[in-house]
Amino acid sequence: MKNKVLLSILWTSSAIILLLTVLSYIIMFGENDISDDPERWGQFGDYFGGLLNPLISFLNLIVLTYLSLRLVKEDDQRSQWTLMELARPYAQISFNKQFNLLEINIENLGLGPLIIKNIIIIDVNGRTFKNFHQLLTPLKTEHDDFIIDVFRISNNHCAVGKENNIPLLKISNNKNEIQTKGLISEMVEKLNGHTIKIEYYDMYKRPMEPLVENIDFLSTFDI
């Protein structure tokens, strides 16, 4: 669209300049008959060339300056876009289940820092929680022997560096193995079927597509 407008302005300006040049000549010398003297025709050409060439050259200078600035701007935009893509994060959730340990981690597999904006836990009934602490508080009260570490966002955001991960939830118990297996199984039953939604953006504050993952510890080995 901008190129079409620019071309229209240039052609219109050139036509106006040409028209004014011809009209000026007709007004000043229109009373004279058309000459058959080659010298007069040469003077006529000098008149047009002397007026039009500087004006056309000036228009060309404006066009070249505009195109040069636009090319530089587009090149800068491409370079900036390339740098932004190189710093693009990529979030992934992993699950770890052992006889005495249960973990849900968020990993950054991208090339730039991952800025977490919101963590939303959605249970099977559609209720939402800001973190696992709200979800597991009743269960933790029943089993005080569990060590439950829950990640919470501070200052409205949290950054995860390249190839790093943070535990959203870590549940452990180093007591009796048989009892621990039973408690871990209870935790698995409590968490399976819930959904984790991670809203995040990159270091340039571009929002990325939210990560939505269903909790399914059954995909790991059975305990």
Identify whether the C-beta of residue 197 lies closer than 8 Å to the C-beta of residue 211: yes
Using DSSP's 3-state secondary structure scheme, residue 83 falls into helix
Lowest-confidence region among 63-72, 75-84, 185-194, 214-223: 214-223
Is pTM, for the whole model, over 0.85?
A: no
Lowest-confidence region among 55-59, 84-88, 161-165: 55-59
Percent of the chain with pLDDT over 70: 78
Q: Residue 102: count other Cβ atoms within 10 Å of its Cβ.
A: 25
Give the separation between CA 173 and CA 205, rounded to whole angstroms.
Answer: 39
Cα dihedral: 204, 206, 207, 213 (round 10): -60
What are the tens digits of pLDDT across the range 15-65? 777 777 777 777 776 666 666 667 767 776 777 777 777 777 777 777 788
